[in-house]
Amino acid sequence: MNAPLRLITFDLDDTLWDVRPALQAAERAQWLFLRGRFPSLGLDTTPRDQLDAIRRSVLEKEPKLAHHISLFREQFIDALLQSKGVASDESAVAASEAFAAFLSHRHSVALFEDAVPVLQALSQRYRIGAITNGNADVHKTTIGHFFDYAWRAEEFGISKPDPALFHHAFTEAGVTASEVIHVGDCHQNDVGGAVAAGATAIWFNPEGRRSEIAASVVTTLAELPNAIAQLEGLRVE
């Protein structure tokens, strides 16, 4: 670990914010739009098993949509409408508009308490990036100004923990993996993926569980600056 630290990357959902309120509001907006557009179809009361079957069918037809979650959601809505008898030309337009309603609430995120002061402090010393499998664009949130880079899996057609996604990000930022610390809440996607890509990983885990591959584990974001400083100390020893 003798390379200087040049970039800190963050996962977004459930690392910097609680994703549930935004997703719930976005889902409500989506179904409210569909209910208003097609009041007689009862789309928002469709049984879950039917919805799951449509999702599986969409993915079976186009497996790559697993890495393009925005397009997947839109095509799922399209397929749902067609299953209810809506003509394909109308369903495609309505699906696009329903997704726009979803996205209008996707970025109203509930930040974790320490997110702003920690990002403010770290961004004064390092370049900051976001690497997410989700469809949130950090630059559309209130903390976007702290970020020099933002990479979404759906832009590349590959998702964490695939090291290739990390390598795309590092190449665009002009850094090597050894010059990066990645912070995230998912051990498989964030810790495993970052380590496989050759970067250092810090696991954000409020439960304080142990990891055999993360360089550090933090239970709150407030612990991050100290954890990073300790890792930097190891780099220069």
Q: What is the pLDDT along the chain (237 residues), one digit of tens a residue?
A: 468 999 999 999 999 999 999 999 999 999 999 999 999 998 888 899 999 999 999 999 999 999 999 999 999 999 999 999 999 999 999 999 999 999 999 999 999 999 999 999 999 999 999 999 999 999 999 999 999 999 999 999 999 999 999 999 999 999 999 999 999 999 999 999 999 999 999 999 999 999 999 999 999 999 999 999 999 876 544
- Longest CA–CA separation in the chain, Å: 69
Residues 215 and 139 in one domain: yes
67, 83, 106 - which closes a domain: 106
Q: Is residue 119 part of a domain?
A: yes
> How far is Cα 228 from Cα 202, in angstroms, rounded to an integer?
9
Q: Is residue 2 part of a domain?
A: no
Number of domains observed in the structure of the chain: 2
What's the CATH code of the domain at 136?
3.40.50.1000
pLDDT of residue 114: 96
Amino acid letter, residue 53: A
State if pTM tops 0.95. no
Residues 118 and 133 in one domain: yes
Residues 159 and 51 in one domain: no
Smallest CA-to-CA distance from 224 within 121, 124, 142, 125 is with 121
Report yes or no: 67 and 159 within 8 Å, Cβ to Cβ. Answer: yes
57, 86, 106 - which closes a domain: 106
91, 106, 121 - which closes a domain: 106
Q: How far apart are the first and last CA of the chain?
A: 9
Total Cβ atoms within 10 A of residue 82: 16
pLDDT of residue 127: 98
What is the extent of the structural domain holding 76? 20-106
> How far is Cα 123 from Cα 119, in angstroms, rounded to an integer?
6
